[in-house]
Structure 1
Amino acid sequence: MTVSSELKIFGLSTNHELAKKVAEGLRLPLGQIEQTTFADGEIYERILESIRGDDVFLVAPIASEANDSFMEIMIAVDALRRSSAGTINLVIPYFGYGRQDRKAKSREPITAKMVASLLEMNGIDRVASIDFHADQLQGFFNKPVDHLLAAPLLSSYFYTRNFTDNLVVVSPDHTGAGRARKFADLLDAPWGVINDMVARTNPASPDAIVGDVAGRRAIIIDDIIDSGERMQLTANALKANGATEVFTVATHAVFSNEAGRRLAEDENIDHIVVTDTIPISEANTTAKLTVLSVAPLLSEAIKRIYNDEPLDTLLKSLNNPEVKL
């Protein structure tokens, strides 16, 4: 007798609210898990329902307190495996440690690869994530990886508000030029790159920016906002070169040391647009901030993975589907 497996969604303490939204999008209850932290900092977790033979999706970023959130994931995966889950599918909206993806100096670790190896050794069957810091991170896993993109969601912010006229998309550094070009294609806009060496010393110089920004709304696009310093440097150069309005746009709002608040206090920045892959503290929540939810994207991706359906349409913009991302 063949018994079909059930789809189960679990979340952990880091961004539990996002996991709850994902489960609601699938019209499923969020799985029950007990989580406790002992006085010495040890983490205890126990699955509180039967998952025998089920396809389990664990939704949790490696974020906020990165080390604790990673250990929460590792312990939860161990508990799921020992509870006889049919498959363990790890949905990591933000892959912390993803910036340590190569050896830039001698005797450095490649920590992103180590994290991937530890997760695989622990028994995961699949990984889904949004906007890895580098595409090569997909190759760090030997298990299937579904790499989702936030660009269609972020670009829809501008389409729904009719902000598509007179735009320019700008990368805050040369390494993000490809990202800026693709985002510009989604919006049918020109794009440019900041020359940060010049922008630091003489932001008003025409050489501070490769591209024409005068009289345009400028979108600074990146995958992560951490300290926010690069966004502020770029915004200063854009306004000094005649940009009329500046949007700082990123998928992952790390916002270290209240960077979100500092960006909002910067007179050169008019709007901050991010997603909810990472929980945003009250201190970083300001009137300039717009948070777009990735929950519908994750819910749809999980449904298609569970049903063995393709994900290719999720990687396209409904507003500009011809653009290849």
Structure 2
Amino acid sequence: MRNISILAGSSHPQLAQDICQRLGIPQGRATLSKFSNKETNVEVGESVREQDVYIIQSGCGNVNDNFVEMLIMIAACKTASAKKVTAVIPCFPYARQPETPYKRNSVPSSRVAKRDDDKFGTMYDGQLQSPIKPSSLPSPPPNSDSSTANSTDTPPQPEIFEKSMSSLSFPDEDDTPLPAPKLRHLRTESTLSLDGGGRVSSISRSHSNVAVHPLAPQPPADRPLQTGTCTPGPGSGNGGYKHWTARSGTLIANMLMAAGADHIITMDLHDPQFQGFFDIPVDNLYGQPLMIKYIKEKIPDFQNAVIVSPDAGGAKRATVIADKLNVDFALIHKERRVAAGSELILVGDVKDRVCILVDDIADTSFTITRAATLLTKSGATKIYALITHGILSGNALERIKNSTIDEVVVSNSVPQQDHLAHCDKIKVFDIAGVFAEAIRRIHNGESVSFLFEQTPY
């Protein structure tokens, strides 16, 4: 392969070596270091002018430092006149933060009206505001001792205004028309203040004879207004919706494009709509063919197994695998209750069956271990868990050890050496061949759709 250079970041050097070995080309030279103040330093040790550069960096370990390191590597290659720079990100960072405005469990506050002297208020941010009363309007300042002169402006025509307003209606939830406002003559008094020399020093105006009525319908006689209180949503501070939750989807995409990336290659994005944040091509490879291959080769009597999705979000992924293997499918639905938390509900029959949990990512392993407990209570004889990105942070390994899962199979999209050493339930399948074939096809201008259905080796 000509005019190609593959550089590796510091997040997963072993995967980069495996990809280069599959392609039969040497890995490019790049020196990655940090200054004493922890700033990242990147030096590309070879010429990349007019070459297609592929930078391999996974979103694991120290995610923020590794991401900034990748941005600097991309910018360095573009500055060195690289023809094209492709970011190969097996495990995409921040992929679980799409652009959603509110937290998942936020609900609007209860809009219950409150009776206050037969007047209607307005709901603002979960609080009932009383209407402005005429008595609460500020009164005009008293006349000063200086000489004053009163003048009366021409009042509006109340008959014409009242006739036009009576034809309007403002329906509410009960479609009750508003009564026409009753206005009297509007009188404006202007007060002139004179100084010692008889000249006008200031002019002040005050309004009188103004009838103010709240623009709200009166309750029907046969349906008295119910009293109550305004109940804020659960977990909200001041009622109403929860505070806007910051999401980083667009920001991450813009940073990669601003650094100079021309193409993105990744695998099993947690939210597929993440691809829409980019203005450059994004190839989202699938881990399903590798999972199917592992099931056929490593799980005995898989024909009688049940593919299980641990949540509703992964149902499509699990059904695709179940259809290709021609086996049954089950779903675990998490029903979130405001007061009692969440409850897992199994949809499907797993009694005396082998269950294969399928998911795209396992971080704390809380989801798959809870699902395994439910499957065991439902009569499952053996439980496997196939995960594309086994991040396994925090006390995830302890949860897996203490769970009823017999085997957790993850890919090497993130380094798994430490996980294998501390938990004997962890197994690994290799994705280097898929990324190597994707790089080869993209560099030669071939289609990568073959990799969506088949494994290259």
- Give yes or no for TM over 0.5: yes
For 1:87 and 1:219, locate their aligned partners in 2 and report how far apart those are by CA, in whole Å: 41
1:47 counterpart (44, 47, 51): 44
Contact 2:372 2:403 in 1 (8 A): no
Counterpart mapping for 1:31-42 below 5 A: 31-42=28-39
- Bigger helix share: 1
**Structure 1 position 196, deviation (Å):** 3.4
The aligned residue for residue 358 of structure 2 is 221
2:14 counterpart (9, 14, 17): 17
Instruction: Show CA shifts across 1:80-107 (max 9, x none).
Output: 1111111101111011100001214152
SS at structure 1 position matched to 2:394: helix
The aligned residue for residue 279 of structure 1 is 415
Contact 1:169 1:191 in 2 (8 A): yes
Contact 2:386 2:409 in 1 (8 A): yes
1:66 counterpart (47, 63, 67): 63
Instruction: Show CA shifts across 1:248-294 (max 9, x none).
Output: 1110011111413431x124110000101111251554221111111
For 1:141 and 1:313, locate their aligned partners in 2 and report how far apart those are by CA, in whole Å: 23
What code does the residue aligned with 1:232 have?
T
Q: Identify if the C-alpha distance between structure 1 residues 57 and 220 changes in structure 2 by more than 3 Å, giving closer, same or farther.
A: same
2:313 counterpart (137, 161, 175): 175
For 1:155 and 1:177, locate their aligned partners in 2 and report how far apart those are by CA, in whole Å: 16
SS at structure 2 position matched to 1:192: strand
The aligned residue for residue 130 of structure 2 is none
The aligned residue for residue 329 of structure 2 is 191
Q: Identify if the C-alpha distance between structure 1 residues 256 and 221 changes in structure 2 by more than 3 Å, giving closer, same or farther.
A: same
What code does the residue aligned with 1:183 have?
I
Deviates more, 1:246-255 or 1:296-305: 246-255
**Structure 1 position 318, deviation (Å):** 5.9
What value does the CA root-mean-square deviation take over the aligned residues? 2.1
What code does the residue aligned with 1:150 have?
G
Contact 2:366 2:399 in 1 (8 A): no
The aligned residue for residue 108 of structure 1 is 245
Contact 1:172 1:231 in 2 (8 A): yes
Counterpart mapping for 1:117-136 below 5 A: 117-136=254-273
**Structure 1 position 215, deviation (Å):** 1.1
The aligned residue for residue 4 of structure 2 is 7
Does structure 1 residue 99 correspond to structure 2 residue 236?
no
Contact 1:250 1:273 in 2 (8 A): yes
Contact 1:22 1:295 in 2 (8 A): yes
Large movers: runs of 4+ above 6 Å = none
SS at structure 1 position matched to 2:303: coil
For 2:419 and 2:451, locate their aligned partners in 1 and report how far apart those are by CA, in whole Å: 33
Instruction: Show CA shifts across 1:9-43 (max 9, x none).
Output: 11111011101111111001111100111222111
For 1:304 and 1:147, locate their aligned partners in 2 and report how far apart those are by CA, in whole Å: 14
**Structure 1 position 186, deviation (Å):** 2.4
Whichever of the two has the greater Rg, that structure is: 2
Contact 2:419 2:426 in 1 (8 A): no
2:290 counterpart (153, 158, 180): 153
For 1:317 and 1:187, locate their aligned partners in 2 and report how far apart those are by CA, in whole Å: 14
Counterpart mapping for 1:167-316 below 5 A: 167-197=305-335, 208-263=345-400, 265-283=401-419, 285=421, 286-316=423-453
Contact 1:186 1:317 in 2 (8 A): no
For 1:293 and 1:162, locate their aligned partners in 2 and report how far apart those are by CA, in whole Å: 17
Does structure 1 residue 88 correspond to structure 2 residue 226?
no
Taking only the aligned residue pairs, the percentage that are identical comes to 31
What runs of 5+ residues in structure 1 fail to find an aligned partner? 320-325
Q: How many residues align?
A: 310
Q: Identify if the C-alpha distance between structure 1 residues 269 and 162 changes in structure 2 by more than 3 Å, giving closer, same or farther.
A: closer
SS at structure 1 position matched to 2:69: helix
For 2:396 and 2:388, locate their aligned partners in 1 and report how far apart those are by CA, in whole Å: 15
The aligned residue for residue 322 of structure 1 is none
For 1:16 and 1:112, locate their aligned partners in 2 and report how far apart those are by CA, in whole Å: 26
Q: Identify if the C-alpha distance between structure 1 residues 283 and 135 changes in structure 2 by more than 3 Å, giving closer, same or farther.
A: closer
For 1:52 and 1:259, locate their aligned partners in 2 and report how far apart those are by CA, in whole Å: 44
**Structure 1 position 172, deviation (Å):** 1.1
Q: Identify if the C-alpha distance between structure 1 residues 186 and 11 changes in structure 2 by more than 3 Å, giving closer, same or farther.
A: same
Q: Identify if the C-alpha distance between structure 1 residues 224 and 50 changes in structure 2 by more than 3 Å, giving closer, same or farther.
A: same
**Structure 1 position 130, deviation (Å):** 0.3
Instruction: Show CA shifts across 1:276-324 (max 9, x none).
Output: 11112515542211111110000000000000001111110469xxxxx
SS at structure 2 position matched to 1:34: strand
For 2:321 and 2:101, locate their aligned partners in 1 and report how far apart those are by CA, in whole Å: 28
Contact 1:5 1:86 in 2 (8 A): no
TM-score by length of 2: 0.65
SS at structure 2 position matched to 1:165: helix
The aligned residue for residue 323 of structure 1 is none
TM-score by length of 1: 0.90
